[in-house]
Structure 1
Amino acid sequence: MSRSRAPLAGVVGALVVVEATSGVLQGYYTPLLSDVARHLGIHDADVNWFEASQLLLSAIVVPLLARLGDMIGHRKVLIGSLIVTAAASWGVAFAPSFWLFTLLWALQGFYVVWLPMNVSIIHARARKHPNTAELTSKGAGLIVVALQAGAIGGALVAGQLGGLIPLHLTLAVPAVLVTVALLVVILKVEDPGVRAGGRVDSSGTVLLSLSLLAITGGLALARVNGFTLWVWAMVLVGAALMWWFVQVERRKDDPVIDMHLITRPTLWPVILTSALFGVSVLGAQGPLSTFAGTDPTEVGYGLGLDSASRSYLIGAYVLSLLVGAGLYARISKALQPRRVLIAAATLVGAGYLLLVPLHGGVPTVTALMIVAGLGSGALVAALPATAAAAAPPHQTGVATGLTNTTKTLGGAFASAVFALALANGVDSETTTAASLSGYQTVWAICGVTAFVAVGALLTVPKVAFTSADPDARGLDESPEALALEAVGHDVVVSDAKVVRSEESPDPEQEGGR
């Protein structure tokens, strides 16, 4: 590896530790949830509140933390979120009551900002090189591979430790890893120096938080009682607050989310794809697991797999995500990121739509989930990287954070809709299995939303997300900008004007570049 790439390799190596830890947090606890329920003396259904609380918090904090990352530094926000997650993880290990456990579990949701911050840090470091987009894609692919590997390893290790040592010690393992990741970032990740400055948009932040709280809170309640009048009321209130938020932000000079940014022709399709992708990547794994465990001799459909065999099926799917993420950077270098995004979304759509008629055997279902998983893995790596490439240098945190926020909202909506679809047509007095039509509805929705994303991505300019893309260089192509660039001066481009820099300092040492 050339000397010029060595600093980037070093920071990516450190961030690999962070994302592997994020993967552990996402995969480690799942095999232990029944034990946690017994320990806290709660019903298995109450476990859903853990995910609901974390979903609520993460949807609210990511936009604010992403904006703070652009303002005060992505490394600082990464360290702060690691501290909160570490404290919450230690608390989860020793929490004595359900409500305290739920609160601490929600605070663990600060880890969702790690990926946007990590990609922003990589992008800032990569801007020193002429092949910024390629290096960002490669770095994003590596840390997402680490994330998926951490999820697989976490689930396997938790399953082995669960019956060997006391539960509180088993739950302390993620806390130890988060603490190690915090130390790695403090010691090994230098501040890239990119700052946007400005101030926190307090009114916009409040409106956005209330809107997301109403929408995700309503969807969380829908998972419990269905789409009742109260659920619809909360969602409609949230939508109204979101409309108000957009109107307020359009008039702000320093908004928490720049509406002009997300309407860029290279960025809005990425944000929309993130929301649509959240439907399958966050909403469909539960139905896959329950379908695999349904006994076909009783209801005429399902795979009839025991827990161990189901873990192999889920493992094959997660492993395909890892492979897809690992291949993303290499393939996008040869085919351009836009084409890879379109191909990845097509794989997701094809995999799920083919499940609607072809779900009768383990080999077929496994093969189709691997197809969908390859596309999903590529999208997990591609979406934050392409959002960073499509945004100005001082707004990469907001852009990458939006991919996580919209993905979370897509997953929340899908979880509620899927719960109702699976319950439709079921006689709860004779069976606990979900209906076949419900599963087919789930797969059809996942497939259709993926192909809607393909349609949106087809509108993206062909040079998007590459070093040839003006957005990837933080420049526009106005005659004045090109003239100044040609004589060797730095150019700072805003929506209103082009400003000439007097000294042309290193962009990583200047805020707002």
Structure 2
Amino acid sequence: MTRGAPDAGMRRVTLGALAGVVGFLAFVEFTSGFLQGYYTPMLSDIARHLGVPDADVNWLEGSQLMLSALVVPALAKLGDMVGHKRILLWSTAITAAASLALPFASTFPLFLAAWTLQGVYVVWLPLEIALIWSRTRSREGRSLLTARAAGILVAALELGAISGALIGGQLVDFLPLVPVLVVPGVLVALCFAVIAFGVQESPEQLGGRLDVVGLTLISCALIAFTGGLSLLRLGGVGSPWAWATIALGLLLVIPFARWELRHPDPLIDVRLFRSPALAPVFVTAALFGMSVLGAQAPLSTFVRTDPAVAGFGLGIGGFATSLVIGVYLVFMVVGALLSPFVARVTSPRLALAGAALLVAVGYLLFFPFHASYAQMLTNMAIAGIGSGALVAALPAAAAAGAPERLTGVATGLTNSTKTVGGAIASAIFGIALAHGIGEAAGGTAGSFAGYLVVWGVCGASALLAAVLLLFVVPKTAFQDREPAAVDPA
């Protein structure tokens, strides 16, 4: 009982600081979520509008993921150098321009280009977590404060995604597609004003010069790797050029790593991947990315597929699809808000493992249960709780485990590794869904065997993450350490 009063005082200080630090950033994440949820119910409509089959929708996911993998390391590093708010503004301006261009892109290549450029928004959450971490430097309970802030930001993100999915699904059922596509661009433009006038800059900037050589090397590696994945979609798994390009991308990582180890101020300190505090975070993020980023488009097109024509699917409209997505996102909010509490009661490692296990269970349940609306809702709810917890916990764990000078880089790397996992999954799903496409009546729906691959990969990757967290990762991982033990250099 004697410890009750200090704990209560600590909680009041923490929550008061949380409100001051998060501020307008919640609206930024609401906008980010709106972008992620708004388009999902209308992906089949976009495919019809552009005259492409459903399997080609995966090109949208894959291209945006590729750009994300390229820009996040550079923008996260620039955030540490010149200020996180400044990079937030730059990335928001680019996102607004791309979003406003989408309604006027009348061909698939033009739409793909604008859609790809819009993917710059993925750097928002890592920059925000880094900004919060930097602004709470002198406060007690810094890790807990950052974790709670991350939970609130992710809750705002998912509320935005719910709103986007419901509004997008409703509008696409009653309005032409072009005016429906204008809405996100207007919201992102408003978000730019909110950041400019409502968000304070990080108290410290490191300065220095951007590692251009390192950026070039890692960009070439990522372009080759993701380009090889794209060639796999075009030429199939038997294409030697595709595998050669993928191998080239992997080999190019070697000179990049050697350069970064010698550089006094590297773009990405590759020693972070050897850190016992950060390596488990990056591995978990990569495996989690396969489901949270790679499966969105296939799930949307599956529920929109007419079972009377293709023999599977639910054949529901845009608004009903948005309700499925909405349930998933509501439970992501629940998972994000529960994550700090569960980590405090058990441990951060067990909380992450439990979240990954829920994701695995949710997707593996699709194998026996996918024929009704209720079954889809149940599966997505289970996966949603785990996904929300992981989205909130991973960048916070990275911030807590990173050196002070590399907070933005570390939180950005959680997104980069998650993006690479999503890009790999997106390529696999695109190939799987396109295989046997001609068997479907009408020639536009993906193959049922392809959807089985989607659920299997999502479930297996999440299950592997849970196993690694439970049996490989040290029991003390993701917990506070002494500052001197943090820097892996």
Query: What is the TM-score when the length of structure 1 is the normalising length?
Result: 0.83
Conserved? CA contact 1:390–1:464, under 8 Å: no
Deviation at 1:80, TM superposition (A): 1.4
Q: Work out whether 1:281 is the aligned partner of 2:292.
A: yes
Out of 219, 229, 232, the residue aligned to residue 219 of structure 1 is 229
For each residue in 1:146-182, what CA deviation from the matched residue of structure 2 results, as whole angstroms up to 9, or x when unmatched? 1111112112223334466675543332222222222
Q: Work out whether 1:311 is the aligned partner of 2:331.
A: no
Q: Work out whether 1:87 is the aligned partner of 2:100.
A: no
Out of 407, 413, 416, the residue aligned to residue 396 of structure 1 is 407
Partner in structure 2 of residue 444 of structure 1:
456
Mark the CA change 1:372 to 1:273 in structure 2 (over 3 Å): closer, same or farther: same
Gapped regions of structure 1 (runs ≥ 5): 477-492, 497-513
CA distance in 2, matches of 1:123, 1:163: 43
CA distance in 1, matches of 2:180, 2:236: 35
For each residue in 1:62-88, what CA deviation from the matched residue of structure 2 results, as whole angstroms up to 9, or x when unmatched? 111111112222122112111222232
Amino acid at match of 2:102: V
Partner in structure 1 of residue 374 of structure 2:
363
Amino acid at match of 2:78: L
Mark the CA change 1:25 to 1:67 in structure 2 (over 3 Å): closer, same or farther: same
Mark the CA change 1:101 to 1:146 in structure 2 (over 3 Å): closer, same or farther: same
Mark the CA change 1:163 to 1:218 in structure 2 (over 3 Å): closer, same or farther: same
Deviation at 1:456, TM superposition (A): 2.8
For each residue in 1:13-49, what CA deviation from the matched residue of structure 2 results, as whole angstroms up to 9, or x when unmatched? 311100110111112233455665676x643566554
Partner in structure 1 of residue 5 of structure 2:
none
CA distance in 2, matches of 1:429, 1:29: 24
Deviation at 1:361, TM superposition (A): 4.5
What secondary structure does 1:156 align onto?
A: helix
Please, which moves more after superposition, 449-458 or 344-353?
A: 449-458
Mark the CA change 1:188 to 1:33 in structure 2 (over 3 Å): closer, same or farther: same
Mark the CA change 1:364 to 1:399 in structure 2 (over 3 Å): closer, same or farther: same
Query: What is the TM-score when the length of structure 2 is the normalising length?
Result: 0.87
Q: What is the Cα-based RMSD across aligned positions, in Å?
A: 2.9
Amino acid at match of 1:179: A
Mark the CA change 1:94 to 1:366 in structure 2 (over 3 Å): closer, same or farther: closer
CA distance in 2, matches of 1:238, 1:270: 23
Amino acid at match of 1:327: L
CA distance in 1, matches of 2:371, 2:305: 12
Out of 395, 403, 410, the residue aligned to residue 384 of structure 1 is 395
Out of 99, 113, 124, the residue aligned to residue 103 of structure 1 is 113
Q: Work out whether 1:348 is the aligned partner of 2:359.
A: yes
Mark the CA change 1:299 to 1:156 in structure 2 (over 3 Å): closer, same or farther: closer
Partner in structure 2 of residue 182 of structure 1:
192
For each residue in 1:248-297, what CA deviation from the matched residue of structure 2 results, as whole angstroms up to 9, or x when unmatched? 22222221111112211121111011111111112223333444455667
Amino acid at match of 1:107: L
Partner in structure 2 of residue 210 of structure 1:
220
Conserved? CA contact 2:61–2:297, under 8 Å: no
Amino acid at match of 1:475: A
Conserved? CA contact 2:324–2:377, under 8 Å: yes
Q: Work out whether 1:268 is the aligned partner of 2:283.
A: no
For each residue in 1:392-437, what CA deviation from the matched residue of structure 2 results, as whole angstroms up to 9, or x when unmatched? 1211111111111111111111122123334556662767565554
What secondary structure does 1:135 align onto?
A: helix
Partner in structure 2 of residue 43 of structure 1:
52
Amino acid at match of 2:478: F
Partner in structure 1 of residue 7 of structure 2:
none
CA distance in 2, matches of 1:462, 1:169: 52
Gapped regions of structure 2 (runs ≥ 5): 1-10
Mark the CA change 1:35 to 1:304 in structure 2 (over 3 Å): closer, same or farther: closer
What secondary structure does 1:198 align onto?
A: coil
Amino acid at match of 1:326: L
Please, which moves more after superposition, 255-264 or 358-367?
A: 358-367
Question: What is the count of residue pairs matched by the alignment?
Answer: 475
Conserved? CA contact 1:348–1:376, under 8 Å: yes
CA distance in 2, matches of 1:298, 1:44: 15
* Larger RCO: 1 or 2 (CA < 8 Å, sep 6+): 2
Partner in structure 1 of residue 8 of structure 2:
none
1:398-417 equivalences under 5 Å are: 398-417=409-428
Partner in structure 2 of residue 456 of structure 1:
468
Please, which moves more after superposition, 229-238 or 311-320?
A: 311-320
Out of 146, 162, 165, the residue aligned to residue 152 of structure 1 is 162
Partner in structure 2 of residue 465 of structure 1:
478
Deviation at 1:383, TM superposition (A): 0.9
Deviation at 1:438, TM superposition (A): 3.8
Amino acid at match of 2:456: A
Please, which moves more after superposition, 229-238 or 89-98?
A: 89-98
CA distance in 2, matches of 1:271, 1:370: 25
Conserved? CA contact 1:21–1:147, under 8 Å: yes
Mark the CA change 1:245 to 1:309 in structure 2 (over 3 Å): closer, same or farther: same
Amino acid at match of 1:457: L
Mark the CA change 1:189 to 1:294 in structure 2 (over 3 Å): closer, same or farther: closer
Partner in structure 2 of residue 78 of structure 1:
88
What secondary structure does 2:209 align onto?
A: coil
Conserved? CA contact 2:169–2:321, under 8 Å: no
Deviation at 1:449, TM superposition (A): 1.3
Conserved? CA contact 1:317–1:370, under 8 Å: yes
Conserved? CA contact 1:266–1:460, under 8 Å: no
Partner in structure 1 of residue 260 of structure 2:
249
Amino acid at match of 1:417: I
Deviation at 1:116, TM superposition (A): 0.5
Conserved? CA contact 1:11–1:189, under 8 Å: no
CA distance in 1, matches of 2:375, 2:115: 37
What secondary structure does 2:277 align onto?
A: coil
Partner in structure 2 of residue 332 of structure 1:
343
Amino acid at match of 1:389: A
Conserved? CA contact 1:249–1:258, under 8 Å: yes
Conserved? CA contact 1:214–1:238, under 8 Å: yes
For each residue in 1:282-331, what CA deviation from the matched residue of structure 2 results, as whole angstroms up to 9, or x when unmatched? 22233334444556677765556555544333322222222211221232
Out of 237, 250, 267, the residue aligned to residue 239 of structure 1 is 250
Deviation at 1:142, TM superposition (A): 0.8
Mark the CA change 1:127 to 1:206 in structure 2 (over 3 Å): closer, same or farther: same
Amino acid at match of 1:446: C
CA distance in 1, matches of 2:451, 2:296: 12
CA distance in 1, matches of 2:183, 2:395: 28
Amino acid at match of 1:218: G
Mark the CA change 1:28 to 1:376 in structure 2 (over 3 Å): closer, same or farther: same
Mark the CA change 1:261 to 1:198 in structure 2 (over 3 Å): closer, same or farther: farther
Partner in structure 2 of residue 118 of structure 1:
128
Mark the CA change 1:44 to 1:430 in structure 2 (over 3 Å): closer, same or farther: closer
For each residue in 1:365-405, what CA deviation from the matched residue of structure 2 results, as whole angstroms up to 9, or x when unmatched? 43232111110111111111111111112111111111111
Partner in structure 1 of residue 65 of structure 2:
55
Amino acid at match of 2:127: M
Partner in structure 1 of residue 4 of structure 2:
none
Partner in structure 1 of residue 484 of structure 2:
475
Please, which moves more after superposition, 151-160 or 67-76?
A: 151-160
Partner in structure 1 of residue 146 of structure 2:
136
